[in-house]
Structure 1
Amino acid sequence: MRLVLVFLLCFFVAAAVESSFITPAEYSKMLYFNPHGIGCNKCHGAEGKGSVIGVYYEFDKASGQNKKHEVVAPNIVGISLENFKQALANPKNFMPSYSLTNNEIAALYMYVNKLFKKVENDK
């Protein structure tokens, strides 16, 4: 009897776990929009094409005027996997450090490439 109960418990746990998995496409999209607190989309846009994150002004002594500067997130659609990995491994300027695993980086790259194919097909 005990063996039957253990078997049934294992069966129900396995069935519950199996039904909770998400597809690789869903996982990669989830990572793009919220990898660890703030999504890539907040700076790179919903389609990865980049966007203006903010604007600031700096006083130029030579001209006596304020100069406008934009902080821009680059377009990440269509870049090589090596450049993608490099940008995530060694973030510069305003790019946050996410400490992503290799699997997470691969999933994000897959999502960005999917966006690239969509953009190319729309032309």
Structure 2
Amino acid sequence: MRDMLLLLLPLSLFAQSSFITPMEYSSSLYKNPRGIGCHKCHGEFGEGKIVARYEHNKEQKTFFAPGINSMDFNDFYRALNVRKNGMPRYFLTQTEIKALYFYLQEKKKK
């Protein structure tokens, strides 16, 4: 099912003619969906990364954004629609969420 989704996704993203490819669109969306790009916290390929180190009550803490490139689509969709642990709400459309997922799956292949 997942493979079928990935095969049909580029076609559904660009059913009408477009001047950019599905990968160009999804890449630009990943880097700036609504002001702060996903790559700033989750890494260039969705692998996750340390966002900040800080001290709280004299204890060293680390704020880590998890990897998102190995999530299944349903979990990915839910994560984008729930504010949790510092994750901002982007209010993305279905098409934008599918494009972001497509981008991460394509980057994971390389």
Same fold (TM over 0.5): yes
TM superposition score normalised by structure 1: 0.72
The 2-side partners of 1:91 and 1:25 are apart by: 27
Structure 2 counterpart of 1:52: 50
Instruction: Classify 1:106/1:93 alpha carbon distance in 2 versus 1 (closer, same or farther; 3 Å).
Output: same
- Count of residues in correspondence between the two structures: 95
Q: Which has the larger radius of gyration?
A: 1
**Secondary structure at the counterpart of residue 85 of structure 2:** coil
RMSD value over aligned CA atoms?
1.6
The 2-side partners of 1:47 and 1:105 are apart by: 16
Of 83, 95, 101, which aligns to 1:91?
83
1:68-123 Cα offsets, whole Å, 9 max, x none, are 110000001111001100100112121111000000000000001112212xxxxx
Q: Identity of aligned pairs, percent?
A: 47
Q: Which runs of 5+ in 1 are unaligned?
A: 1-17, 60-65, 119-123
The 1-side partners of 2:77 and 2:83 are apart by: 10
Moved over 3 A (4+): none
Of 37, 40, 45, which aligns to 2:38?
40
TM superposition score normalised by structure 2: 0.80
The 2-side partners of 1:115 and 1:20 are apart by: 22
> Which residue identity is paired with 1:55?
R
Instruction: Classify 1:20/1:107 alpha carbon distance in 2 versus 1 (closer, same or farther; 3 Å).
Output: closer
> Which residue identity is paired with 1:89?
N
The 2-side partners of 1:19 and 1:92 are apart by: 37
1:23-74 Cα offsets, whole Å, 9 max, x none, are 1110000100011111000001112111111112122xxxxxx211100000
**Secondary structure at the counterpart of residue 38 of structure 1:** coil
Q: Report the alpha carbon displacement of residue 19 of structure 1 after superposing the two structures with TM.
A: 8.7
Equivalences for residues 41-80 of structure 1 within 5 A: 41-59=39-57, 66-80=58-72
Q: Which runs of 5+ in 2 are unaligned?
A: 1-15
**Secondary structure at the counterpart of residue 116 of structure 1:** helix
Greater relative contact order structure (CA < 8 Å, 6+ sep) = 2
Of 83, 100, 107, which aligns to 1:108?
100
